[in-house]
């Protein structure tokens, strides 16, 4: 950011305001605060959309008091254990939130009320509890859930209220999906994506049917593609439009199966 210091005073305000939207707020303050007169006021008056990546003591003491909270639209927290005591519920306009190193102990007490996209990196031992906490959040449309191991095959309960999530992504080294749990708790699910999905068709029969599941994209291990296709069609026969299966352990001839259903 230092290369912008020398040119900041010769750029017009409109160009600066446009430029500010492509950097994190801590980068902006490091580069321009003290270089541009009344820099915090410029951010506020220009209604610059801000992106936060460090919610630490420096942010809480020196940056947060000098910005308009309602201009923050995304927050990334690199380590929940190093997060400063900041109420995430104060960020009313944040639609995108990323949380790293999440456990049951450091799960936030409050979330932005208009949050739509949530990405979580979870310690494996807390995966069940954190997954259910995420599903219980209001208004979430897309959840990306990351952990070394994601074993949900023993998670059968029905939550207090159905989840609002429409798009679900699992990223892990080994993932077991419980389709019965998804059916019971995610009635609006429209797309499902997973990496390293193990034995994805080993589940109960007569589970029921997803009514809104349009797209399935699974990287699978130890499966029979034909069997998996039949299972997927069975549980989403009325809604499924596209199914993409990759069998990472099979021969090249059956490596990828793309199924279009009309």
Per-residue pLDDT of the chain (262 residues; tens, 9 = 90+): 444 444 445 457 788 888 888 899 999 998 888 777 788 888 888 889 999 998 988 999 999 999 999 999 999 999 999 898 889 999 999 999 999 999 999 999 999 999 999 999 999 889 989 999 999 999 999 999 999 888 765 566 788 899 999 999 999 988 888 888 888 899 999 999 998 887 655 556 566 788 999 999 988 877 677 777 788 888 888 888 888 888 766 544 344 555 544 3
For 62, residues 6+ apart whose C-beta sits below 8 A from its C-beta are: 29
**145 part of a folded domain:** yes
**195 part of a folded domain:** yes
**165 part of a folded domain:** yes
Strand locations in 53-185 (E): 72-77, 96-102, 117-122, 142-146, 149-151, 167-171, 174-176
Q: How many structural domains are present in the chain? A: 1
| 104: β partners | none
Are 35 and 5 contacting, i.e. CB atoms less than 8 angstroms apart? yes
Supply the pTM of this predicted model. 0.85
**147 part of a folded domain:** yes
Query: What pLDDT, on the 0 to 100 scale, is given for residue 191?
Result: 96
Query: What pLDDT, on the 0 to 100 scale, is given for residue 155?
Result: 60
Angstrom distance (rounded) from CA 67 to CA 181: 42
**196 part of a folded domain:** yes
Note down the domain range covering 133.
116-259
**148 part of a folded domain:** yes
**40 part of a folded domain:** no
């Amino acid at each position: 950011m230092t290369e912008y210091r020398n040119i900041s005073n010769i750029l017009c305000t409109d160009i600066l305001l446009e430029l500010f939207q492509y950097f994190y707020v801590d980068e902006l303050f490091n580069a321009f605060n003290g270089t541009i007169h009344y820099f915090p006021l410029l951010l506020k008056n220009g209604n610059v959309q801000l992106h936060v990546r460090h919610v630490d003591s420096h942010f809480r003491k020196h940056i947060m008091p000098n910005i308009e909270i309602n201009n923050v639209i995304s927050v990334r927290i690199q380590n929940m254990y190093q997060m400063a005591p900041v109420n995430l519920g104060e960020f009313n306009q944040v639609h995108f939130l990323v949380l790293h190193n999440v456990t049951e102990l450091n799960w936030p007490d409050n979330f932005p009320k208009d949050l739509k996209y949530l990405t979580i990196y979870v310690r494996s031992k807390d995966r069940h509890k954190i997954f259910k906490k995420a599903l219980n959040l209001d208004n979430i449309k897309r959840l990306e859930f990351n952990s070394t191991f994601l074993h949900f095959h023993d998670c059968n309960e029905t939550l207090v209220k159905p989840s609002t999530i429409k798009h679900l992504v699992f990223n892990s080294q080994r993932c077991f999906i419980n389709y019965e749990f998804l059916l019971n708790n995610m009635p609006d699910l429209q797309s499902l994506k997973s990496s390293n999905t193990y034995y994805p068709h080993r589940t109960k029969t007569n589970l029921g049917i997803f009514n809104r599941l349009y797209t399935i994209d699974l990287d699978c291990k130890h499966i029979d593609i034909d069997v998996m296709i039949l299972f997927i069609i069975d549980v989403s026969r009325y809604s499924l439009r596209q199914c993409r299966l990759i069998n990472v352990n099979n021969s090249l001839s059956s490596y990828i199966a793309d199924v279009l259903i009309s």
